[in-house]
A and B are shown apart, each in its own frame.
Chain A
């Protein structure tokens, strides 16, 4: 499997298809399989799709420390350099979208379009209490029916909490006493047994948890600098929706797409709709070759697969 080493950390990546370069960045506790086979295969019919495992995830290396946003940006830049890519469409989900936004601010010339799939920024929305989440009551009723110990309404919604819900639903489903309600699905197919064990190892044996939780240095003023065509792409039920509207307000060239009847993990819940919507956005914004006649440098490599 193709891999590169950046600052002594091995990064596993995959490329599919031919066309304008399109990078897909997964979120925390997932891996590049978040995008494959469904989404990446479909996009690969028109684009060269590049996707990779973030450090500490999937088949990439897990250093003891070095999980700051700076490290994440540096990995992305290293991967693009390695592939000879000077300009690409960048798509990120959740924490991956956070990396994409940071990258768009710091490397605007390299980002042809930016797609922000369901993420929240502290500078755009305060932390949300469970009790303030529109859909919490219906979840709560279902969980209570099965005697699940519930967090308090005052607990803040975090990624970790969503994963915990997903784990509970998976357990109940396996016991045959619950089916995940499709309307409130938090389906995330990347946290199988091995994925969950890998995430636990990352939390227990590295400084990743502290580094992920450290304050963002991004401000709304930084976000306002984003000028490339941007798509804010959210799930209707997501707790991140307030950020969606703030992105729309802050970025001049920003379109919004809201996926109906799904939550934070909408790309894996409705992959075909995700690709269709993203495809329309990308087609409307092809590379501007007039200004970037050499969108790829001469040392571009053909990665082995």
Chain B
């Protein structure tokens, strides 16, 4: 896996999508899942991939490593209105990263 060496470079949504999906594919490669058909932007983490909270930890750590950034506020992705979200689409993860990787707010 490649890392982004230069954080000031804008990163395209397509690039993020392909990297998020490859992180998820690598993570779930040896999982015993009912889900089949390949991971795409409409895949749901909990419903389709049977993600549990410990898998969320691994996903976040893998994404931080892949994008060489440790300052992304992932709690804003996984929590809304003071509680944990029930599920997330892969596309929501991509949108979130697209916003935060290119916008240093």
Contact = CB atoms under 8 A, between A and B. Distances in A.
Interface in B45-95: 50, 52-54, 56-58, 60-61, 64-65, 70, 73-75, 77-79, 82-84
Given A190-B53, A193-B50, A38 B64 contact: no
Interface stretch (A69-77, A108-116, A218-226, A268-276): A268-276
Given A14-B61, A37-B74, A37-B75, A271 B54 contact: no
**B53, B70, B83: most-surrounded residue (chain A CB, <10 A):** B53
A276 to B, nearest CB: 10
Contacts of A14: 57, 61
A272 B57 contact: no
A207 interface: no
| Size category of the binding interface on chain B | 20 to 34
Contacts, number: 63
A38 B84 contact: yes
B66 to A, nearest CB: 11
A192 to B, nearest CB: 3
Interface stretch (A28-36, A158-166, A240-248): A28-36
A14 B84 CA distance: 20
B27 to A, nearest CB: 11
Contacts of A254: none
Interface of B: 50, 52-54, 56-58, 60-61, 64-65, 70, 73-75, 77-79, 82-84
23 contacts: A1-B61, A14-B57, A31-B53, A31-B54, A32-B54, A33-B52, A33-B56, A36-B60, A37-B60, A37-B77, A37-B78, A37-B79, A38-B78, A41-B74, A189-B53, A192-B53, A193-B52, A194-B54, A268-B84, A271-B79, A271-B82, A305-B64, A305-B70
The 4 closest A-B pairs by CB, nearest first: A192-B52, A33-B53, A41-B75, A33-B54
